[in-house]
Each structure stands twice: as structure tokens, then as C-alpha cells.
Amino acid sequence: MDELRLPNLILAFDGRVIEIFQHSARGGGQRYHVAHLQAGEVIEGRKDARLSLTFSSGRVLISFPGDAVGQMQGFLGRILAQRTLGA
């Protein structure tokens, strides 16, 4: 299990399912299967950054602190690598 913990955000990836837990979200987290992932990118801003995940059902944008860009890029890279392997 791969997990990234940031202030107000936890992302988890077990090799098949991406789970997103945001402090502001009510009712738990969101789950997406990697097979439905079409694209992903980290978008850097001046103070903060965003993770953009495009699925067959739509796009998810997740804000996170700008000083965690490197961690997020590594996390996203591992997800994209698994998707490429045909998970």
C-alpha cells in the first residue's frame, strides 16, 4: 500500500484503487480504479499546487501545499507506472 499524508489530505494506492480522503469532505473518501485513469498531472501554483486526475467519468482536482510537489509527483508517478503495466 502506497500512502501520502499531507495536511488535510490522505492519498492511498494499493496497486489497483486510488483512495482520496480530504479533511473537508463529508461522508468519507473517494475511490477510483486505476483502469479508469486516463491522465494525471501535478499543477504548480505560486503558493499551493493541485493534482489533476482525469478518469473516464470526469476530472478530479485536489489542492495541496506547494512544498509537497515533489512528494506528489513521486506518488503520481507510481500510479501512472502501475497503470502502464496494465493493472
Domains of the chain: 2-84 (2.30.29.30)
- Tens digit of each residue's pLDDT, the chain (87 residues): 899 999 889 999 999 999 999 877 566 789 999 999 999 999 999 889 999 999 999 999 999 999 999 999 999 999 999 877 654
Are the CB atoms for 80 and 73 separated by under 8 Å?
no
| Longest CA span, the chain | 35
Residue 67 pLDDT = 93
Are the CB atoms for 66 and 38 separated by under 8 Å?
no
pTM for the complete prediction?
0.87
Residue 80 pLDDT = 93
How, if at all, do strands 9-13 and 17-22 pair?
A: antiparallel
Residue 27 pLDDT = 60
